[in-house]
Chain A
Amino acid sequence: MIPAPALKRLESPADLELLRAQGAPALALRQAEAAPLGEAGEIHVLVCGDTGCRANKCLPTRQALEQSVATHGLAGRVKVVQVGCFGFCRVGPVVVVEPGGTFYCEVRPKDVPEIVLEHIMGGRPVKRLLYAPTPNERGQYETRQHIPFYQRQYRSVLRNCGLIDPENVVEAVGSGRYFALAKALTELTPDQVVDELKQSGLRGRGGAGFPTGKKWEMAKATPGDVKYVICNADEGDPGAFMDRSVLEGDPHAVLEAMTIAGYAIGAQQGYIYVRAEYPLAVQRLQLAIAQARSLGLLGSDILGTGFSFDLDIRLGAGAFVCGEETALIESIEGKRGQPRTKPPFPSTAGLWDKPTLNNNVETYANVGDIILKGADWYRSVGTEKSPGTKVFALAGQIVNTGLVEVPMGTPLREIIFGMGGGVPKGKAFKAAQIGGPSGGCIPTHLLDTPVEFDSLPPLGAMMGSGGLIVMDETSCMVDVAKYFLKFIQDESCGKCPPCRIGTKRMLEILERITQGKGTLADIDDLERLSRGIRAGSLCGLGNSAPNPVLSTLRYFRDEYVAHVVEHRCPAGRCTALTEYRIDPLRCKGCAVCARNCPVDAISGEVKSPFHIDPALCIKCGACSDVCKFDAVIH
């Protein structure tokens, strides 16, 4: 970490170039194809250090590496570097040795001596720590380029995540950050900046896909001495974490883009509204802002061009609705986050009733490269109507959980089965929920749909922020719909009765259905209520609240009918409709189920079939999870 006061103010773009020269060699080393030099060469050991890997306990691994490097007297030649997310969270903590890019998975402190002695000192990669989807493939995948998870990705927004130390601004500049700002300030007029963005076809990555250039144009066109630029970093959609990853892995990308936005629309102040649930992202943003200020990349007279712009962070406090732009504005003003009536739109009257531009993190993360490399470059990736890439967060019942960045238009099947590795434990794929609580589910027969902004709405789903939750045969789609309705019900701000009360009634109906007490008329009521809520709510939260219900009804109506007519939950998830018993023919009498039952409902003699007492059973499913012989039936 470079302490902020040590940074000298950059007075011109030429100074920025000098700073790049300081940062670039380290990055060149980390991107070198193979280890070219002999023993004397410098080595960088990259360790993932974002929230996901910290939950995976990456810190002890990093400490062990630092200690081992010091113990062996390698400190001058070997540098242990904390970087942002590699994206392949399932195999974390990830350690990459550069140059050469040897990719080690699930590295624990006990594995560290071997990496240092064998690889770093001996030049022999440690095969047992390489990525191996099956034990037979051990040693086949030495670098990222070999691993299927990475092969079909196009990392543009995430290009610095897993490459630079996010706490080191010299590395950020070394990677080219702030050169788009320098170009905009010295070579382009505000109109040209807006034009370039419009030409690029960039669309908002926060959900609706509104053309970003148009948004900038509207904010620019509104007259006013005081305008604001906002970054929506309130990534509330459960299951999406790409914005967190960008903020934690490459915060300067966002700072730079917001400053460019300030220049383009004529604003001098920006706010990053970030969720308090992301403490590490907040910390890295604070540091990045302090560094940018001391370098004169934020504040007055940026790079000696006379342009001034500054940024502050505003913390959320746990309200999903604050992802809606007008609710977010209310929250920045320190109020309850309730949406405003539109129009006026924020571009006319937003924060403190001033013209305001609001984009989300991933959108901003695209801006720098568009300004630097041009709209044509940007349009060369993705589709005609949705240019560029999209980051998807893979989670749920999928083998390779993590973040992938792919060109727009990549089929869902490719993302889930190609990169994601499909569904674990040999279970069958059922659906992918895309777009969070506002989105919908995509069933098996639509998996070849190319994912872009306009391909999903006809299917009853939406891109949303790119959270992709995979569900297998054990997920009950009625239960999933109930889950989302519960979420919406909890998070409805209460301003509009259709959203506040309508979702409550829908939730009650879904609760009845999952308890086997529903009727077919209930299903009709769900559809009727959905139409009313959609038409009668002020903001996107209410408008889209019925989506998960409508979408599951569209593709999995048979599951609803099974609950209502047969009082049966086909997936065995709804506990009121499920009974657990042990198949005496399959049970080997190993007693594992009985040991794991939290309520001692299972009894029997070892080596003879066990029995579940239905009166005691709480239907938690623990027995079914631990049984190695699939003898627990439900």
Chain B
Amino acid sequence: MSCSTCQGITANDPRFAQLDAMMEGIKGESGALISVLHKAQQLFGYLPEEVQEHVAESMQIPTSEVYGVVTFYNLFSTEPMGQFPVNVCLGTACYVRGADRVLARLKSELGIELGEVTADGLFSLESCRCIGACSLAPVITIGDEVHGKVTEHDVPRLVAQARQMAAAAQNGAQVATVGAGSDVA
């Protein structure tokens, strides 16, 4: 499976049609821009210029307004993300329990800095402000999976697990069982 987020986006990309359908459904609703951008990011993985321009044109608002909103909010990204976005919670509870060390270990394990993507397109590294699982601090998410009570020693194992899932997905194997229930000692 090739990384869907790393390819160029052309004007006749079918995802634009999906986005248009969503925008059609909420036509006339005020204040819909943020919802539209959420949908666009879900479809494209990120919000490059082409997508922002398309949204602006369809909603008949200036591209600058779209860009203003995209760059204001942390969850919108103008850069592609990896197949497994790794998110390190840097909320207060996670911080006092050593999230900074987990982050440092992730950086060295993946060989990337915050906001970057690994060369194979598998992982991107981001930090966030609290996902509300503070009682299990420090918490990281890899893809959709939330991992609690993570120490820097767990990092290599968690990364290896995600790699395995990616490899399994590539081989068309069943991945549903990998990773489930096997972590958090």
Chain A interface residues toward B at CB < 8 A: 51-52, 54-57, 59-60, 89-90, 108-109, 235-241, 244, 276-278, 314-320, 331-337, 352, 393-397, 401-403, 433, 436, 467, 469, 471, 475, 480, 483-484, 487, 490-491, 493, 596, 598, 618, 620-622, 625-626
Contacts and interface: CB of A to CB of B under 8 A. Distances in A.
A277 B128 contact: yes
A625 B151 contact: yes
B148 A395 contact: no
B137 interface: yes
B68 A336 contact: yes
Contacts of A334: 30-35, 69
A469 B93 contact: yes
10 contacts: A57-B181, A238-B134, A277-B130, A314-B35, A334-B69, A396-B92, A396-B97, A397-B96, A598-B108, A620-B101
Contact of B72 (A278, A319, A480): A319
A238 B93 contact: yes
Contacts of A469: 92-93, 96
B99 to A, nearest CB: 10
B135 A394 contact: yes
Contacts, number: 167
A108 B33 CA distance: 43
B35 A395 contact: no
A490 to B, nearest CB: 8
B134 A241 contact: yes
A467 B76 CA distance: 27
Contacts of B139: 55
Contacts of A621: 98, 101
B93 A317 contact: no
B interface residue count range (under 10 / 10 to 19 / 20 to 34 / 35 or more): 35 or more
A51 B181 contact: no
A239 B129 CA distance: 9
Contact of A396 (B30, B93, B108): B93
Contact of B38 (A57, A315, A598): A315
B183 to A, nearest CB: 7
A471 B96 CA distance: 7
B15 interface: no
Contacts of B143: none
Interface of B: 30-35, 37-38, 68-69, 72-76, 90-98, 101, 104-105, 108, 128-137, 139, 146-148, 151-153, 180-181, 183-184
A238 B35 contact: no
Contacts of B130: 236-241, 277
Contact of A318 (B73, B132, B153, B183): B73
B183 A402 contact: no
Nearest to B131: A277
Contacts of A598: 105, 108, 152
Nearest to B41: A317
Contact of B101 (A236, A493, A622, A626): A622
Contacts of A60: 180-181
A239 B38 contact: no
Given A314-B31, A317-B75, A395-B134, 15 more contacts: A59-B180, A238-B90, A238-B92, A239-B92, A241-B134, A316-B73, A318-B76, A318-B128, A320-B129, A334-B32, A336-B72, A337-B73, A469-B96, A471-B96, A483-B95
A319 B96 contact: no
- Centre residue among B32, B91, B132 by max chain A CB count within 10 A: B132
Contacts of A314: 31, 34-35
B89 to A, nearest CB: 8
B135 A402 contact: yes
Nearest to A237: B130
A434 B157 CA distance: 35
Contacts of B128: 277, 318
Main secondary structure of the interface of A (DSSP, over half): mixed
Contact of A89 (B38, B76, B95, B136): B136
Nearest to A109: B181
Contacts of A625: 151
Contacts of A622: 101, 152-153
B79 to A, nearest CB: 15
Nearest to B95: A483
A239 B134 contact: yes
Nearest to A595: B153
Contacts of A596: 153
B152 A55 contact: no
A490 B108 CA distance: 24
Contacts of B97: 396-397
Given A51-B146, A433-B92, A276 B38 contact: yes
Nearest to A493: B72
Contacts of A484: 92
A141 B132 CA distance: 28
Contacts of B180: 57, 59-60
A471 B97 CA distance: 9
Contact of A277 (B69, B105, B132): B132
A238 B91 contact: yes
Contacts of A618: 104
B96 A56 contact: no
Contacts of B93: 238-239, 395-396, 401, 469
Contacts of A317: 34, 37-38, 73-76
Counting from the closest, the 7 A-B pairs by CB-CB distance are: A238-B91, A89-B135, A318-B74, A395-B93, A317-B73, A401-B135, A334-B31
Nearest to B151: A625
- Centre residue among B32, B34, B105 by max chain A CB count within 10 A: B34
Contacts of A491: 129
Given A52-B135, A55-B136, A395-B135, A487 B129 contact: yes
B153 A393 contact: no
Contacts of A467: 92, 134
A236 B93 CA distance: 13
Nearest to A471: B96
A443 B153 CA distance: 32
Contacts of A318: 73-76, 128-129
A621 B102 CA distance: 11
